[in-house]
Amino acid sequence: MRRASALPKPPAGQPLPDLHVWQTLRLLFPYLWQYRARVVGALLCLVAAKLANVGVPLVFKEMIDGLSGDLLALPVMLLALYGSLRFSNSLFTELREILFARVTQRAIRKVALEVFLHLHALSLRFHLERQTGGISRDIERGTRSISSLISYSLYSILPTLVEISLVLGILFVRYDAGFVVITVLSLVAYVLFTIKVSNWRIAIRRAVNESDSAANTRAVDSLLNYETVKYFNNESWEADRYDQQLRQLENASTRSQTTLAALNLGQQAIIALGVTAMMWRAASGVVAGTMTIGDLVLVNAFLIQLYLPLNFLGIVYRELRQALTDIERMFGLLNEHREIADAPDARSLPAGQAMTIDFIGVDFAYEANRQILHAVTFSVPAGSTVAVVGHSGAGKSTLARLLFRFYDVTGGSIRINGNDLRQLTQHSLRSAIGIVPQDTVLFNDSILYNIRYGRTDASDDEVIAAARAASLHDFVSRLPEGYATRVGERGLKLSGGEKQRVAIARALLKNPPILIFDEASSALDSATEKAIQAQLELAARGRTTLVIAHRLSTIMNADRILVMDGGCIVESGTHTELVAKNGKYANMWLLQQRESAI
């Protein structure tokens, strides 16, 4: 069942809106509110911690004034209260962290999983155009920024606002309004300056992110193509291209750091002016006799307590803005349009039935000005084998991609047992099809894992049986680590033939009613090809099979052979019939026979 996104997304094709703290928190709120008891408990602990923190200077004032008299018992009691309040502040702060830890991590997990699922739900077109390095870095920064947004918003901004409110209230009640005016003016100047400069720095931060993603993309792309780099001796060329991106990153990061230093200096200047004005007014009150030494200490303690989180609030705002910039790209991934999606009334393809495939007047183009298939019509009856042959670029492999519904047809329809693929759920459709692709890409894991990927709940014995059927078992048995042997990035530790035999074993293990062999033996030597050919024919028996082939010798026994040219079916028949026609197939057969004889 397709899971609907929990995050609102702008309509496809529209640019991302500017994100703000409260908008982002609103998007994250459903994830947080799943643990509403923990959220409420954490907020209560937050308020309790701030009450205890504000109470410390009040008790300290009474201690100072008490020490100036003859009563000794009172300061001792106040000292005990002072210690209790200090401990209570730490206690409630840590309790808040404990209560909210699960909420934060679960929100990160849910959003990261949603991005991962959404990327897998996007069409093949998107994944053919994507840059893996840049996307992985965007997801990494985005998930990390979710933690920053939640942490800074709920652990820093809200506590600071609570503390500022309490301090201003106490100053207003106990002293004259001048203290409140100085404090408010300092706060307003500080906040306005921080917001103004931080917003100006957003473009600089974006430039850092762009350069960072571009550098990472270039490095990953180069390393993935390690062999190609070596083939053409282009290590220096790749290093220069990578250094070009690193130079841009260096310049952007340097500018970001210097502007940050300027922001810090401006903030400290505003704080210094505010503290000086407050202390001057308090000292004047002591001289005039309207305030005690304890009052002076109280005001000083409040200032320190107030401006420390206020200073941190500036850092928090900068981090929030940077986090919002970082998370913008990840929300952009969620905004990517799903070209292939299940219809609202999509139904499952019934399992356990023989499958008939019908291509009915199928037109298809990857791009509007590049038509690939033209009114292709043919059927693959249940339990039969139909082969498609033709020169490169004729559109053979496109048939397999359309059957898997990696793309939707631009005209006509493809049906399985009379059901249009667009009216079926993608999960049920792909569960019914097994494929051995022309270019086999393996996970960087063991041979056992890669074969078992065809059916993840298969036992070791079933995996080994599939490997035997693909003539792979003897090769694996000779390896020092056997089936635990890791195949390397994209399976590069294996030869082309070995990778293709893993793919064959994987498809056989899946045991689907429909099989597609897309040049399944193209990377095999003649001896191995002959050994596997019998197994492929045995595996295809009783299944609906579509074979896309270049070597005509591998499809001689097909029930029907289709010859494609220029995106059209130009000939159709059995091997014997097509050879007798003396057409395109006969010419291809004659040419391959001559090549084999050489």
- What DSSP letter does each residue of 430-441 carry, written as one string? HHTEEEE-SS--
Most confident stretch, 165-174, 493-502, 565-574: 565-574
* pLDDT exceeds cutoff 90 at 207: no
Q: Are 339 and 405 in contact (CB under 8 A)?
A: no
Q: Assess whether 485 and 531 both reside in one domain.
A: no
* pLDDT exceeds cutoff 90 at 378: yes
How many domains does the chain divide into?
A: 3
* Residue 5 within any structural domain of the chain: no
Task: Please state which of the ranges 168-182, 201-215, 292-306, 381-395 shows the lowest mean pLDDT.
Answer: 292-306
Q: Assess whether 171 and 264 both reside in one domain.
A: yes
Q: What is the mean pLDDT of residues 373-400?
A: 88
Task: Please state which of the ranges 283-287, 328-332, 489-493 shows the lowest mean pLDDT.
Answer: 328-332
Q: How many CA atoms lie within 13 A of 404 on its CB side?
A: 17
* pLDDT exceeds cutoff 50 at 261: yes
Task: Please state which of the ranges 230-234, 309-313, 554-558 shows the lowest mean pLDDT.
Answer: 309-313
Q: Which of 508, 531, 553 is the last residue of a domain?
A: 508
pLDDT of residue 358: 94
> Distances in Å between the alpha carbon of 375 and those of 361, 411, 419?
4, 8, 19
- Distance, in Å, from the CA atom of 28 to the CA atom of 106, rounded to the nearest integer, reads 11
Q: Are 97 and 151 in contact (CB under 8 A)?
A: no
Q: Assess whether 127 and 207 both reside in one domain.
A: yes
Q: Assess whether 155 and 253 both reside in one domain.
A: yes
Q: Assess whether 275 and 413 both reside in one domain.
A: no
Task: Please state which of the ranges 175-189, 210-224, 298-312, 423-437 shows the lowest mean pLDDT.
Answer: 298-312
In three-state secondary structure terms, 379 is strand
pLDDT of residue 415: 93
Q: Assess whether 427 and 285 both reside in one domain.
A: no
* pLDDT exceeds cutoff 70 at 20: no
* Residue 528 within any structural domain of the chain: yes
- Distance, in Å, from the CA atom of 520 to the CA atom of 500, rounded to the nearest integer, reads 7
Percent of the chain with pLDDT over 70: 84
pLDDT of residue 216: 85
- The dihedral over CA atoms of 79, 83, 84, 86, expressed in degrees to the nearest 10, equals 130
* pLDDT exceeds cutoff 70 at 312: no
Q: What is the mean pLDDT of residues 272-298?
A: 79
* pLDDT exceeds cutoff 60 at 508: yes
pLDDT of residue 541: 78
- pLDDT category, 123, cuts 50, 70, 90? low
Q: Assess whether 59 and 188 both reside in one domain.
A: yes
CATH number, domain at 123?
1.20.1560.10
pLDDT of residue 563: 92
* Residue 11 within any structural domain of the chain: no
Q: What is the mean pLDDT of residues 501-507?
A: 86
* Residue 340 within any structural domain of the chain: no
> Distances in Å between the alpha carbon of 275 and those of 179, 282, 295, 300?
11, 11, 15, 8
pLDDT of residue 553: 80
Give the number of other Cβ atoms within 10 Å of residue 215's Cβ: 23
pLDDT of residue 356: 92
Q: Residue 561 forms beta bridges with which residues? A: 387, 573
In three-state secondary structure terms, 102 is helix
* Residue 15 within any structural domain of the chain: no
- pLDDT category, 14, cuts 50, 70, 90? very low
Average pLDDT of the chain, as a whole number: 79
More confident residue, 389 or 187: 389
* pLDDT exceeds cutoff 80 at 351: no
More confident residue, 246 or 203: 246
* pLDDT exceeds cutoff 90 at 360: yes
Q: Which of 301, 334, 367 is the last residue of a domain?
A: 334
* pLDDT exceeds cutoff 60 at 453: yes
Tell me the residue length of the chain.
598
Range of the domain at 391: 349-432+512-598
CATH number, domain at 397?
3.40.50.300
Q: Assess whether 519 and 487 both reside in one domain.
A: no
Angle, helix 177-224 to helix 158-174, in steps of 10 degrees? 170
Q: Assess whether 577 and 471 both reside in one domain.
A: no
pLDDT of residue 561: 92
* Residue 165 within any structural domain of the chain: yes
Q: Which of 508, 530, 546 is the last residue of a domain?
A: 508
- Distance, in Å, from the CA atom of 13 to the CA atom of 66, rounded to the nearest integer, reads 70
More confident residue, 47 or 78: 47
* Residue 230 within any structural domain of the chain: yes
Q: How buried is 527 (Cβ within 10 angstroms: 0-12 exposed, 13-18 middle, 19+ buried)? A: exposed
Which three-class secondary structure string do you get for 9-65?
CCCCCCCCCCCCHHHHHHHHHHHHHCCHHHHHHHHHHHHHHHHHHHHHHHHHHHHHH
* pLDDT exceeds cutoff 70 at 525: no
More confident residue, 338 or 427: 427
Q: What is the mean pLDDT of residues 263-276?
A: 84
Percent of the chain with pLDDT over 90: 12
Q: What is the mean pLDDT of residues 237-257?
A: 89
Q: What is the mean pLDDT of residues 189-215?
A: 82
- Distance, in Å, from the CA atom of 62 to the CA atom of 520, rounded to the nearest integer, reads 87
Tell me the per-residue pLDDT of 82-108, one tens digit each, with 9 for 90 and over. Answer: 778 778 878 888 888 888 878 878 878
Q: Assess whether 233 and 313 both reside in one domain.
A: yes
* pLDDT exceeds cutoff 50 at 6: no
pLDDT of residue 318: 67
- φ, ψ at 456 (rounded to 5°): -65, -20
- pLDDT category, 134, cuts 50, 70, 90? low
Give the number of other Cβ atoms within 10 Å of residue 133's Cβ: 20
pLDDT of residue 61: 72
pLDDT of residue 16: 38
* pLDDT exceeds cutoff 70 at 347: yes
pLDDT of residue 363: 93
- Distance, in Å, from the CA atom of 321 to the CA atom of 52, rounded to the nearest integer, reads 30
Q: Assess whether 213 and 152 both reside in one domain.
A: yes
Which pair of structure tokens corresponds to residue 329?
Answer: 């790209």
* Residue 59 within any structural domain of the chain: yes
**Predicted model pTM:** 0.61
Q: Assess whether 30 and 107 both reside in one domain.
A: yes
